[in-house]
């Protein structure tokens, strides 16, 4: 006997089967109906959610999958909203895609729908980094835009990330309003599919050139680059969009020794040389590190498919290549920016830094020391972009970032930018080399001055419908019955960003959290440990961010103290049962 869910799913699948979709999609639906009820349910049990950043999901046929039809319905909803927001105006939009399978198809489909709705459309001639799409929106005077990417997700995924006229990803009120318009599109027949493809305006090198010129203006140590021009840098785009622009900007600022990983220079949505194209995962940098050892290189950098995140490796005190986590890279980069802004006489009292609430507190401590204002924002680079927009014309943005390997300097891009980050990380490495120091030497200096901060991220993957329910049950459990201590250190403060309340368990006082509502919990203990828990907004995961700190009195204690912190982080994980 069919369950109610299966009956509903079959009804939806048959509705698609009897609509004007392509023959291959119909064949796939028939196969699911006949042979695979579980996959049928996963493909049709809900509409792929157009969330606060757009769409992201597994590619395939069905309402809960990324395909030209779900992309089309989302685009029609976006068009309807734009037409309401900007009546009787020329509405320009820009589109880009990365190297993922179906990227060009989804992009062209969305572009044609916009044309059919009377919008003026710019489309890059081939794959481009996400940050360049953010730049292009502002450069071309667009009202909106989108990039087809699933960032660092596995090859099965694709996504549709929407931007507003400021070049930042959509936030309130536009996100919820666009979602409402998308939800009104209940049938494929509601979509204007047949825009004239010939009306799409192709863009390319002319935008690349302006973007690169803006990046070069961010350079703070041109003389250091000149003297360290032979610094050996291994760079890999991991089959993605950084393949041309990252080596290009490195060469244009003066680095002459860029070494590529030839097998990974080929744009390929199957990412054949890695299990996952995520620079947060050590395996993604394996080939690049091997190339660095082979060539005697000084620095390794790897960007994800849409080139908004960067992972790096450098030689540690033993001369062995060691990966930096996102907090270490961010701390190194922000320290470099603050130091050079001060040395160059650019700190006038109105500058600021932005980080996310789950990113290391070390960055906040450095900003305070340099007497530079800093802001904490919710997880997601769109909130950093919003802080830049809010302070535009009043204060000067130096830089910012998040622990998930995304960084930004300057304000002409409004999303994390790995092309920019690669340039600045290479420059900061040249600056350190000038002083006879490695990246890890600079980090040691930072730790001695501000404290040794160490962080760990644990992801628990829970896939599908049951996984989403389990993740929510875990969050509900932590809210209803929070732990009293973590690793024998008493919890003194709880921050619930969904309830927008901060509770001091010592004094019993409560304070309001002014940031927007978000499904995040933070537990702060007496010894300074911070544990943040949140469901991922883009993947079937619940994330645990753990940060702790201690003193580092002298360089010779570095390894010992680091080991102690690692042991403490592992003990915290054990205590939390993760």
Give per-residue pLDDT as tens, 476-502: 999 999 999 999 999 999 999 999 999
CA-based end-to-end distance of the chain: 39
Q: 136 CB contacts (<8 Å, ≥6 apart)?
A: 94, 96, 122, 124, 142, 145, 203, 207, 211
DSSP states of 93-141 as a string?
Answer: EEEEE-SSTTHHHHHHHHHHHHHHTT-EEEEESS---HHHHHHHHHHTT
Residues labelled as active-site residues: 151
Give the closest residue to 236 by CA, choosing from 307, 303, 297, 294.
303
Q: Print burial letters for 538-566: b (CB count within 10 Å at least 16), e (below 16).
A: bbbbbbbbbbbbbebeeeebbeebbeebe
Q: pTM for the full model?
A: 0.95
- Count of Cβ atoms closer than 10 Å to residue 390 Cβ: 10
User: Would you call 159 exposed, middle or buried from its count of C-beta atoms within 10 A (0-12, 13-18, 19+)?
Assistant: buried
Report the C-alpha gap between 252 and 184 in whole angstroms.
Answer: 48
23 close to 29: Cβ distance less than 8 angstroms: no
Peptide bond into 173 cis (omega under 30): yes
> What is the pLDDT at residue 136?
98
The predicted pLDDT at position 554 comes to 94
The number of angstroms, rounded, from the C-alpha of 235 to the middle of its chain's C-alpha atoms is 19
pLDDT at 1: 40
Task: State residue 2's pLDDT score.
Answer: 63
Per DSSP, the three-state class of 215 is helix
Residue 66 DSSP label = B
Per DSSP bridges, beta strands 510-512 and 54-58 are unpaired
Q: What would you report as the CA-atom Rg of the chain, rounded to the nearest whole angstrom?
A: 24
Residues 109-140 pLDDT 10s: 999 999 999 999 999 999 999 999 999 999 99
pLDDT by residue for the chain (578 residues), tens digit each?
468 899 999 999 999 999 989 999 999 999 999 999 999 999 999 888 887 678 999 999 999 999 999 999 999 999 999 999 999 999 999 999 999 999 999 999 999 999 999 999 999 999 999 999 999 999 999 999 999 999 988 999 999 999 999 999 999 899 999 999 999 998 999 999 999 999 999 999 999 999 999 999 999 999 999 999 999 999 999 999 999 999 999 999 999 999 999 999 999 999 999 999 999 999 999 999 999 999 999 999 999 999 999 999 999 989 999 999 999 999 999 999 999 999 999 999 999 999 999 999 999 999 999 999 999 999 999 999 999 999 999 999 999 999 999 999 999 999 999 999 999 999 999 999 999 999 999 999 999 999 999 999 999 999 887 888 899 999 999 999 999 999 999 999 999 999 999 999 999 999 999 999 999 999 999 999 999 999 987 778 999 999 999 999 999 999 999 999 999 999 999 999 99
Q: Enumerate domains of the chain plus CATH numbers.
A: 1-45 (no CATH), 46-203 (3.40.120.10), 210-450 (3.40.120.10), 452-576 (3.30.310)
User: What pLDDT, on the 0 to 100 scale, is given for residue 501?
Assistant: 97
């Amino acid at each position: 006997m069919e369950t109610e869910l299966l009956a509903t799913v079959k009804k939806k699948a048959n509705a698609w089967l009897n609509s004007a979709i392509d023959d291959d999609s119909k064949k796939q639906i028939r196969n699911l109906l006949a042979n695979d009820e579980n996959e049928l349910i996963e493909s049709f049990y809900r509409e792929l959610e157009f969330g606060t950043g757009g769409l992201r999901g597994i590619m395939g046929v069905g309402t809960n999958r990324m395909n030209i039809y779900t992309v089309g319905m989302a685009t029609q909803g976006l068009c309807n909203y734009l037409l309401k927001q900007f009546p009787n105006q020329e509405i320009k939009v820009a589109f880009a895609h990365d190297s993922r399978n179906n990227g060009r198809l989804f992009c062209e489909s969305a572009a044609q729908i916009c044309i059919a709705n009377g919008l003026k459309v710019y489309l890059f001639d081939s794959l481009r980094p996400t940050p360049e799409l953010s730049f292009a929106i502002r450069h071309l005077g667009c009202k909106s835009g989108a990039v087809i990417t699933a960032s660092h997700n596995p090859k099965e995924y694709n996504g549709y990330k929407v931007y507003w006229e400021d070049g930042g990803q959509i936030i309130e009120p536009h996100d919820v309003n666009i979602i409402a318009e998308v939800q009104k599109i209940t049938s494929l027949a509601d979509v204007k599919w047949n825009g004239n493809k010939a009306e799409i305006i192709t863009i390319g090198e002319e935008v690349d050139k302006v973007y690169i010129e803006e990046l070069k203006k961010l350079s703070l140590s041109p003389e250091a680059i000149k003297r360290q021009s032979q610094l050996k840098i291994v760079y890999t785009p991991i089959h993605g969009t950084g393949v041309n622009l990252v080596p290009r900007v490195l060469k244009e600022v003066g680095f002459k020794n860029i070494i590529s990983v030839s097998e990974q220079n080929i744009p390929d949505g199957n990412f054949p040389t890695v299990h996952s194209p995520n620079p947060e995962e050590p395996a993604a940098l394996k080939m690049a590190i091997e190339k660095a050892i082979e060539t005697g290189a000084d620095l390794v950098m790897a960007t994800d498919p849409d080139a908004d995140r960067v992972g790096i490796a450098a030689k540690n005190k033993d001369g062995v290549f060691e990966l930096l986590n996102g907090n270490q890279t961010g701390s190194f980069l922000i320290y470099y920016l603050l130091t050079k802004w001060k040395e160059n006489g650019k700190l006038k009292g109105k500058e600021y830094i932005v980080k996310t609430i789950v990113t290391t507190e070390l960055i906040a401590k450095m900003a305070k020391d340099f007497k530079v204002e800093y802001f904490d924002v919710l997880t997601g680079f769109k909130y950093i972009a919003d802080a830049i927009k809010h302070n535009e014309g009043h204060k000067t943005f130096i830089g910012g970032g998040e622990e998930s390997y995304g960084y930004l300097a300057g304000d002409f891009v409004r999303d994390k930018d790995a092309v920019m980050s690669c340039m600045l990380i290479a420059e900061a490495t040249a600056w350190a080399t000038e002083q006879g120091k490695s990246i890890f030497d600079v980090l040691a200096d930072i730790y001695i001055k501000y404290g040794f901060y160490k962080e760990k991220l644990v992801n628990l993957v829970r896939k599908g419908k049951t996984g989403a329910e389990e993740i929510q049950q875990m969050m509900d459990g932590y809210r209803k019955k929070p732990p009293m201590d973590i690793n024998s250190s008493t919890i003194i403060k709880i921050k619930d960003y969904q309830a927008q309340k901060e509770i001091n368990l010592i004094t019993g006082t409560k304070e309001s959290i002014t940031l927007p509502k978000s499904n995040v919990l933070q537990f702060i203990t007496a010894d300074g440990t911070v544990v943040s828990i949140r469901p991922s907004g883009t993947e079937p995961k619940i994330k645990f961010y753990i940060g702790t700190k201690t003193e580092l009195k002298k360089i010779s204690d570095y390894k010992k103290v680091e080991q102690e912190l690692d042991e403490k982080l592992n003990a915290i994980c054990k205590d939390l049962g993760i």
